[in-house]
């Protein structure tokens, strides 16, 4: 039973290895991976630039606001600084969003490629699953056969034990009968010798 579980585990693990090997065989080309890496680096750079631009706009607004407090038209100066900050912030967000969109596009391409490879490996995986199911079925059949052999052996040993017990009981009964007969013969001989002596 343990041997069969071990074989079953080996079959399942080899099946997992085969499916991952099938996926590895259809891995993306090095050129495609390089393209994805370059584009992802560009996307990350755009995101970093957009974030830096927004932070710079906020810092510039804070310094201009402080400078505006020394002027005569404070509100107009602050509003001009706020408009300039909003324009820079929007531009920064736009750059950051462009980077995010590019990163999402790359991730989507990678997902499509992964799904394509999985679909291509599907027939091999189906065959592998069928093979594993057959191996499991064979292991279960072997277990059932071993169990039936154990049951048959137990029944055979029980029948043999019952036969030996009957033989032993018959031998004991025969010996008891022989002993009783010998005892009766001695008793009869003793009675005869006792009657003859009288």
Render pLDDT for 7-34 as a digit per residue (tens, 0 to 9).
Answer: 445 454 555 444 444 444 567 888 888 8
Return the higher-pLDDT residue of 193 and 156: 156
Render pLDDT for 145-189 as a digit per residue (tens, 0 to 9).
Answer: 999 999 999 999 999 999 999 999 999 999 999 898 888 888 888
Question: What domain range is 96 assigned to?
Answer: 2-197
Identify the CA nearest to 95 among candidates 42, 46, 45.
46
User: Helix, strand or coil for residue 29?
Assistant: coil
Mean pLDDT rounded to a whole number for the chain: 84
Rounded Cα distance, 2 and 23, in Å: 32
User: How many domains in the chain?
Assistant: 1
**Phi and psi (nearest 5°) for 112?**
-60, -45
């Amino acid at each position: 039973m343990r041997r069969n579980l071990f074989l079953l585990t080996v079959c399942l693990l080899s099946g997992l290895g085969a499916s991952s090997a099938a996926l590895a065989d259809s891995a993306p080309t090095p050129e495609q991976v390089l393209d994805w890496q370059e584009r992802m680096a560009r996307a990350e750079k755009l995101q970093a630039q957009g974030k830096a631009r927004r932070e710079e706009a906020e810092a510039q607004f804070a310094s201009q606001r402080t400078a505006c407090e020394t002027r005569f038209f404070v509100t107009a100066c602050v509003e001009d600084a706020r408009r300039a900050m909003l324009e820079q912030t929007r531009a920064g967000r736009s750059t950051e969003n462009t980077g995010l969109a590019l990163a999402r596009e790359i991730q989507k391409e990678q997902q499509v490629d992964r799904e394509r490879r999985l679909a291509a490996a599907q027939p091999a995986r189906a065959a592998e699953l069928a093979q594993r199911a057959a191996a499991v079925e064979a292991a279960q059949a072997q277990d059932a056969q071993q169990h039936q052999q154990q049951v048959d052996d137990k029944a055979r040993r029980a029948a043999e034990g019952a036969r030996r017990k009957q033989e032993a009981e018959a031998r004991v009964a025969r010996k008891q009968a022989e002993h009783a007969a010998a005892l009766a013969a001695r008793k009869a001989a003793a009675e005869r010798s006792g009657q003859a002596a009288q």
